[in-house]
Amino acid sequence: MEHDGRRGAVERAYLEHADDVYRVAYAILRDPDAAADATHDTFARAFERWEQYDAKRPLGAWLHGIVTNAARDALRRRRVRGLGLEHGRRDGSGSVREIAVVDPARDADPALDVVRRRLVDEALGMLKPDARAALVLRHYHGYEYAEIATILGTSPGNVGSIISRAHAAIRARLIPAHVEPPQPPAVRRAEGRSSSPEVMR
């Protein structure tokens, strides 16, 4: 494709897909400025590689693959610079475990949805780049394991393992270590009647 024709094709792609590409970048990077940079990087890479695009396949999926790898590259550069995977989204509490625990009995309170989203947001931000990308592609955009494997350059089986471990890591971060499972009512009544030092320990 000639230079002008390629430029026109990429410009049309930008108009049609930039918002969606940005959402993928932000879901992985969790930072608006970094996501904007990754979005621009994606379309620059698309311009350079336009000859590789198979017009028989959805353009959005091709761009998702490019932006996923652009975002992973950005995360790796951030880690090399010593910034880690977190970037100023904490509230000063110092730990996800120290944020208020969500009480399922109060789900009607809209504020709890905000707390829950923040918890998940912070937990997602602590995952490794490949795990974060796999979760975003799977749960935000509904890609199958085989499609994710192609994007990440791995096998579908490994994608399943990555996602499983990521789920476990998020659950571990969302459940405070000091919170014990609720006890049956009979046990609580027995403890309430007892003054034994053994029971109180």
For position 121, which CATH number holds?
1.20.140.160
Long-range contacts of 149-156 (CB under 8 A, 24+ apart): 150/65, 151/64, 151/65, 151/68, 151/69, 152/68, 154/130
What per-residue confidence (pLDDT) applies to 106? 41
What per-residue confidence (pLDDT) applies to 134? 92
* Nearest CA among 148, 158, 155 for reference residue 61: 148
What per-residue confidence (pLDDT) applies to 125? 79
What per-residue confidence (pLDDT) applies to 176? 62
What per-residue confidence (pLDDT) applies to 9? 92
Per the CB < 8 A criterion, the answer to whether 68 and 24 are in contact is yes
Buried b (16+ CB within 10 A) or exposed e, 84-115: ebeeeeeeeeeebbebeeeeeeeeeeeeeeee
Per the CB < 8 A criterion, the answer to whether 127 and 96 are in contact is no
What per-residue confidence (pLDDT) applies to 76? 82
Q: Could you list the residue range(s) of the whole structural domain that residue 73 is in?
A: 3-200
Q: How many domains, in total, are found in the chain?
A: 1
The answer, as to whether pTM is greater than 0.75, is: no
What per-residue confidence (pLDDT) applies to 122? 79
Rg (CA), the chain: 22
What per-residue confidence (pLDDT) applies to 50? 93
Distance CA 85, CA 30 (A): 9
What per-residue confidence (pLDDT) applies to 200? 41
Per the CB < 8 A criterion, the answer to whether 164 and 154 are in contact is no
Residue type, 3: H
Could you list the pLDDT tens digit for every one of the 201 residues in the chain?
A: 567 788 999 999 999 999 999 999 998 888 899 999 999 999 999 999 999 999 888 999 999 999 999 998 888 887 776 544 444 444 443 332 222 333 334 445 556 666 667 777 778 878 888 898 899 899 888 999 999 999 999 999 999 999 999 999 888 887 764 445 555 555 444 444 444 444 344
